[in-house]
């Protein structure tokens, strides 16, 4: 949903043949899989179910271990559930929940959604961040954030609270930020994903 063409263009800029598809045969023959998304969690899950994509994604990503990147909503869909529009069940590939930013009880002037450039602080040394400085600025647009219950966080960002801004579990990566909108740093992350 949302930002498919801009993600495709960023991958093409880094020399990849990027195909937008909901065809299981194309997904099966691909070397890597990217799930971008902008919009609501419930709509994202509804679209995946209605297109019949969950079984082929689980086969290729969980069983065949193809490198996978979820961007923004695509990262959030990895969780067990989200509180957006009531509680909605997610893919459950990472033991996590997705909850809203809530600054209503504070005297904070922070706005929701969190929109704009913000620092990403690396946790550990992950190959997806090769040739990138920790505390680099990346572009965010989101009202909900990802809370993992397992040790998968590879970066965090401060926005009223310290939230998880990227994850990695085996061959599965997720970015809450938009690498395709994050200029040279984001393109380097895309290149690093292509080199996995």
Catalytic one of 114, 142, 145, 178: 178
Catalytic one of 72, 114, 142, 145: 72
The closest of 140, 145, 143 to 181, measured between CA atoms, is: 140
Q: Is the separation of the CB atoms in 132 and 144 below 8 Å?
A: no
Catalytic one of 60, 84, 180, 191: 180
Active site (annotated) includes residue 84: no
Q: Using N-to-C axis directions, what is the helix angle for 4-13 and 183-194, rounded to 10°?
A: 70
Q: Which residues pair with 37 in a beta bridge?
A: none
Active site (annotated) includes residue 114: no
Extract the runs of DSSP E, i.e. beta strands, from the chain: 33-35, 68-71, 81-82, 88-89, 96-100, 114-122, 136-142, 144-148, 153-158, 162-169, 172-175
Catalytic residues: 72, 178, 180
């Amino acid at each position: 949903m949302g930002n498919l063409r801009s993600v495709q263009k960023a991958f093409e800029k880094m020399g990849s043949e990027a195909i937008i598809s909901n065809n299981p045969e194309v997904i099966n023959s691909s070397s890597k899989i990217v799930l971008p998304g902008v919009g609501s969690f419930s709509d994202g899950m509804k679209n995946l179910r209605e297109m019949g994509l969950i079984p082929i994604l689980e086969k290729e990503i969980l069983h065949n271990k193809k490198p996978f990147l979820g961007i923004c909503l695509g990262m959030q869909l990895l969780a067990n559930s989200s509180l957006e529009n009531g509680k909605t069940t997610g893919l459950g590939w990472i033991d996590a929940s997705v909850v809203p930013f809530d600054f209503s009880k504070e005297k904070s002037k922070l706005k929701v959604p969190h929109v704009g450039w913000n620092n990403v602080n690396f946790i550990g040394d992950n190959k997806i961040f090769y040739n990138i400085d920790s505390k680099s600025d990346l572009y965010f647009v989101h009202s909900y954030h990802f809370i993992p219950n397992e040790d998968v966080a590879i970066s965090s960002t401060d926005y009223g609270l310290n939230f998880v801004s990227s994850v990695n579990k085996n061959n599965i990566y997720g970015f809450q930020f938009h690498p395709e909108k994050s200029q040279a740093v984001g393109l380097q992350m895309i290149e690093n994903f292509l080199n996995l």
